Amino acid sequence: MLIWKTVKGRLFNEGARRVAFAIAKEHYNLDNHLFEKMLNARMTYSCGYRKDAGALDEAQEAKLDLICRKVGIKKGNRVLDIGCGWGSFAKFAAERYGASVVGVTVSKEKSALGRERCKGLPIEIHVQDYREVDERFDTLSPSVCSSMSVTRITARFFEVTSRCLAKDGLCLLHTIGNHKNTNSGDAWLGKYIFPRGMLPSVTQVGRNVEGLFKLEDWHSFGPDYDRTLMAWFGNFKMAWPALRPKYDDRFYRMWKYYLLSYAGAFRARHIQLWQIVLSQNGVPGATRACAERESPSIRVRR
């Protein structure tokens, strides 16, 4: 079985368009109400940044601000957000930094609520496979941002981001990473939570970046995901009486196992969380800017 999984992972492109939309159907197109109850106020479905932040809302805003500062977003910049979710990054970048953002997602449920939440801001959210994007973003500085956490990050992904990125721009990849090479994902998570998901290793990312990008920064803060997941589980558990009429006890056990086992994996450093900043030709000052990423305290705006 393991040999077949390895061969299948190499022979078939499971990150093809039909697979991407299948993942959305089985996971991300779950009722928005579930995610509204489980996540933070901005509905950010990725790791918070805990350096100076306490509560979940503060950690998520600190993470969004960290991304904006790493790629140097300025007023008027046009930004592409691949895997934009409900538009949390797009809304933050538009409100706090004056950027205009194009977000792409394969989830109809997410896009509908995302457009509603971003109404009145210079933000477009499209239900679209990222491979279909074919225009340049930001002719002066940044940037392409991605939150592809549990997916197959292949050479094709980097080819597309290279095609869409201004020559003097920066690309930030926010992703969960594996501590070793593999050609198959966790069997249970792949069956029940993230169909056909696979976490990339340092080697796999590096191999696919080669010849397309230059590395500006590689930041690892996986332990922060442990705390993020525990906060999500706390929210999920508290909201369960309101969610139960739509779901069943099997769903509760399944999501409890998903959230807590992932928290344990990050706590044990079995899996990682990376933010990787890339440029096509090298951007003067980018490495220093990333090294000076320590920010003043972020206050959550109510």
- CATH classification of the domain holding 195: 3.40.50.150
The residue among 188 and 52 whose pLDDT is bigger is 188
Tens-digit pLDDT profile for residues 169-186? 899 999 899 888 877 778
Q: Does 301 fall in a domain?
A: no
Residue 300 lies in a domain: no
Domain count, the chain: 1
Query: What is the chain's length?
Result: 302
Instruction: Taking residues 205-228, report their average pLDDT.
Output: 93
Residue 297 domain flag: no
Full domain range(s) for residue 101: 2-291
Strand partners, 78: 100
Look at residue 133 in the predicted model and tell me its pLDDT: 87
Q: What are phi and psi of 128, to 5 degrees?
A: -160, 140
- Using the Cα atoms of residue 33, residue 37, residue 38 and residue 39 in order, give the sign of their dihedral: positive
| Mean pLDDT along residues 109-131 | 93
In angstroms, the CA 108 to CA 224 distance is: 29
89 domain-assigned? yes
The tens digit of pLDDT for each residue in 263-295 reads: 999 999 999 999 999 998 888 777 777 776 654
**b/e per residue, 2-22, with b = 16+ CB within 10 A?**
eeeeeeebeeeebbeeebbbe
Q: Is 155 exposed, middle or buried (0-12, 13-18, 19+ CB in 10 A)?
A: middle
Strand segments, DSSP code E, in the chain are 78-82, 100-105, 123-127, 144-146, 170-178, 214-220, 271-279
The answer to whether position 37 is within a domain reads yes
Query: In this predicted model, which residue has the larger pLDDT, 282 or 99?
Result: 99
Asked whether residue 174 is assigned to any structural domain, the reply reads: yes
Question: Domain for residue 203, yes or no?
Answer: yes
302 in any annotated domain: no
